[in-house]
């Protein structure tokens, strides 16, 4: 089975699914060109695109969605510019504004469905399109989330010895995306319940790096991510845990922690080999590498501390059409 096969052509109605993601190393620094490691997780978003008789596109029964949902507007503009009005229904298991890739999974699943209904698309172009949607809606950011959602599995940006998947470009730079071997570990993520805007967090960190003369700090993030990509790739848990702790210190230093995140990290400590913020921070989620056999204990501790925990495994499948493969 070719997990990176192109999205084939279909006629409406089309249904697509794409996974969320969790960042292990390098968030924020990746925006400025440093390496990052992510994995697609088995929490997904499904998008169904149907013909409609209404005069305007509809998203989950909302006929004004194009006006106030920038992700929907940009997905339509890039994937359905000349098509007749459609109705889109989505179902998602990914908490929103949580740093777990809900917007990337929306962009990837909807872009895949639109592309199927307009002749199909290969993965490198789908990765670029999903990024273009997210970037236009958000204004800032890297293609890490959308590439993980399109590729599935573990992916590295700007680092690692793995097979190259594609290169994604924005006006100011491009990022090389590569496959990283799956060490077959289970992860636990927990949402703090504190929502935040990725764009605001990225702008705040960018300003802070500029004010501090950020080149040295960026190099520290880059070193941790480079070593982290290698450690995960060779299945070295001890080194991965050390590097996660170091990455967490760097995230605290650039100002993206939050008391609720600190509380979750403290609650996780007895049952985790390491834990850190995942994603933009300032709220959102943490990711923990559980002590083997203590996954349920870890989940209980995080829930008791007020988090919304999930045991996650990598989704080895990226964005795809439903009906073409066994359900997951």
Give me the least distance between CB of 125 and ligand PMV, in Å please. 20
**Residue 36 main-chain phi, psi, to 5 deg:** -145, 150
280 binds ligand PMV per the rule CB under 6 A: yes
200 within 8 A of 159, measured Cβ to Cβ: no
Output DSSP code: residue 121: B
SS3 for 162-197 is CCEEEEEECCCCEEEEEEECCCCCCEEEEECCCCCC
Q: Which stretch binds ligand PMV (CB under 6 A): 138-146, 148-156, 213-221, 258-266?
A: 138-146
31 binds ligand PMV per the rule CB under 6 A: yes
Q: Which of 15, 198, 247, 315 binds ligand PMV (CB under 6 A)?
A: 198
Sequence-separated contacts (24+) of 138-141 with Cβ below 8 Å: 138/70, 138/103, 138/198, 138/199, 139/199, 140/31, 140/198, 140/199, 140/202, 140/203, 140/206, 141/31, 141/198, 141/199, 141/202
Distance separating alpha carbons of residues 193 and 307, to the nearest angstrom:
7
308 within 8 A of 288, measured Cβ to Cβ: no
Q: How far is CA 210 from the centre of its chain?
A: 25
38 CB-side CA count, 13 A: 35
If the CB atoms of residues 108 and 280 are measured against ligand PMV, the closer one turns out to be 280
If the CB atoms of residues 198 and 257 are measured against ligand PMV, the closer one turns out to be 198
Dump the DSSP string for 16-64: EEEEEEEEEE-TTGGGGT--EEEEEEEEEEEEEEEE--SSS-EETTBTT
Q: Which of 79, 284, 290, 309 binds ligand PMV (CB under 6 A)?
A: 284
Q: Is 323 strand, coil or helix?
A: coil
Give me the least distance between CB of 202 and ligand PMV, in Å please. 5
Quick count: other Cβ atoms within 10 Å of Cβ 319? 33
Give me the least distance between CB of 91 and ligand PMV, in Å please. 20
Q: Which stretch binds ligand PMV (CB under 6 A): 22-30, 236-244, 268-276, 287-295?
A: 22-30
- Interface with ligand PMV (CB under 6 A), residue total 15
188 binds ligand PMV per the rule CB under 6 A: no
Q: Which stretch binds ligand PMV (CB under 6 A): 2-10, 20-28, 43-51, 223-231?
A: 20-28
Give me the least distance between CB of 261 and ligand PMV, in Å please. 12
If the CB atoms of residues 58 and 286 are measured against ligand PMV, the closer one turns out to be 286
142 binds ligand PMV per the rule CB under 6 A: yes
Burial class (CB in 10 A: 0-12, 13-18, 19+), 107: buried
If the CB atoms of residues 87 and 145 are measured against ligand PMV, the closer one turns out to be 145
If the CB atoms of residues 101 and 309 are measured against ligand PMV, the closer one turns out to be 101
Q: Which of 74, 87, 145, 320 binds ligand PMV (CB under 6 A)?
A: 145
Q: Which of 144, 152, 160, 314 binds ligand PMV (CB under 6 A)?
A: 144
167 within 8 A of 175, measured Cβ to Cβ: yes
If the CB atoms of residues 95 and 99 are measured against ligand PMV, the closer one turns out to be 99
If the CB atoms of residues 144 and 153 are measured against ligand PMV, the closer one turns out to be 144
Q: Which residues bind ligand PMV (CB under 6 A)?
A: 23, 27-28, 30-31, 99, 141-142, 144-145, 198, 202, 279-280, 284
């Amino acid at each position: 089975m070719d997990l990176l096969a192109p999205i084939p052509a279909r006629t409406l109605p089309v249904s697509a699914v794409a996974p969320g993601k969790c960042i292990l190393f390098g968030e924020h620094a990746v925006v400025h060109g440093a390496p990052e490691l992510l994995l697609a997780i088995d929490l997904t978003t499904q998008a169904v695109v149907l013909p409609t008789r209404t005069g305007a596109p509809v998203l989950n029964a909302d006929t004004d969605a194009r006006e106030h949902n920038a992700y929907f507007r940009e997905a339509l503009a890039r994937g359905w510019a000349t098509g007749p009005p459609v109705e889109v229904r989505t179902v998602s298991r990914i908490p929103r504004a949580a740093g777990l890739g809900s917007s990337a999974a929306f962009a990837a699943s909807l872009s895949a469905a639109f592309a199927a209904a307009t002749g199909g698309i290969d993965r490198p172009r789908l990765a670029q399109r999903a990024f273009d949607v997210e970037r236009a809606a958000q204004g800032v950011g890297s293609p890490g989330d959308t590439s993980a959602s399109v590729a599935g599995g573990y992916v590295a940006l700007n680092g690692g010895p793995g097979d190259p998947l594609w290169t994604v470009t924005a006006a100011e730079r491009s990022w090389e995306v590569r496959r990283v071997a799956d060490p077959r570990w289970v992860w636990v993520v927990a949402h703090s319940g504190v929502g935040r805007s990725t764009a605001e967090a990225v702008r705040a960190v960018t300003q802070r790096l500029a004010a501090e003369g950020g080149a040295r700090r960026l190099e520290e993030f880059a070193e941790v991510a480079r070593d982290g990509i290698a450690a995960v790739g060779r299945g070295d848990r001890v080194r991965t845990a050390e590097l996660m702790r170091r990455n967490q210190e760097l995230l605290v230093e650039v100002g993206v922690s939050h008391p609720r995140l600190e509380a979750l990290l403290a609650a996780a400590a007895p049952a985790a080999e390491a834990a850190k913020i995942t994603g933009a921070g300032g709220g959102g989620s943490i990711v923990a590498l559980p002590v083997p056999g203590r996954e349920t204990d870890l989940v209980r501790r995080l829930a008791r501390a007020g988090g919304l925990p999930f045991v996650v495994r990598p989704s080895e499948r990226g964005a795809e059409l439903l009906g073409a493969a066994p359900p997951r």
